[in-house]
Amino acid sequence: MKLLHLYHDIMNLYGDYANVSAMRRILEKSGAQVSVDRISPGENADFADYDFIYIGSGTERNQRVVLEDLRKYADALKSAVDSGTVVLMTGNSFEMLGKTLTDAKGNTVNGLGFFDFTVTEQNKTRVTGDVIYTCDFLTQPLVGFVNKCSEIKGISEPLFRVTMGPGDFDGSREEGVRMRELFGTHLTGPVLIKNPHLLTYLAEKILGKAPADDWLVSERAGYQITLRELKRRNEGA
């Protein structure tokens, strides 16, 4: 198995490298031999070689740097998605897949155009908060933290439904985006550490069989504690 961690050096705000470490570990525990390639802006990779592709969260400035570098990969990334490669993009990285991104000064740049959604940033206040999300493909909710300065409008295939916390824009009850096996969410945590059931779900898609997950005892205990406390807070709101 080959894993690709794109822009590991400048899109790693919230310990996002741990998502790749967790994926590597569960695949190895399941008997696979695993290698990880880490690519920086200006370097090259053949997306067709990989079983899992990951991009984490960065500052708005670094996001723009990465967007310009990622344009050269646009066709290759789309081909990987169309072929069923598992792709995870967390934080503001998935915003690059939309139609346009407009910064707080009103400057607009084109996104990669995988989706028709638009991203608008503001610099008055950041949108932050603990979250509980649900989805159709997992029986347990997702937990984590969101920290962003953007609103996203025009997503037709959202990834999650909001139980607690911010959605794609003020008042939205939906969050993130999905296309085949590409998953984009603002959830940080890191998300695969906070949500071992999501880690297991993605690993099964990569392996084509159920992964070895009996070792995720501490991760599951941590998840249950977090979910319990967030539910208490939400019910008391």
* Structural domain boundaries in the chain: 2-236
Fold of 2-236: Rossmann fold (3.40.50)
The stretches of 83-211 forming alpha helices (DSSP H) are 191-194, 196-207
Q: Express each pLDDT in 47-87 by its tens digit.
A: 999 999 999 999 999 999 999 999 999 999 999 999 999 99
The C-alpha atoms of residue 85 and residue 158 are separated, in whole angstroms, by: 19
Give the Cβ contact number of residue 224 at 10 Å.
Answer: 12
Q: Express each pLDDT in 165-209 by its tens digit.
A: 999 999 999 999 999 999 999 999 899 999 999 999 999 999 999
Per-residue pLDDT band for 237 (boundaries 50, 70, 90) equals low
The C-alpha atoms of residue 175 and residue 114 are separated, in whole angstroms, by: 17
Single-letter residue type at 81: V
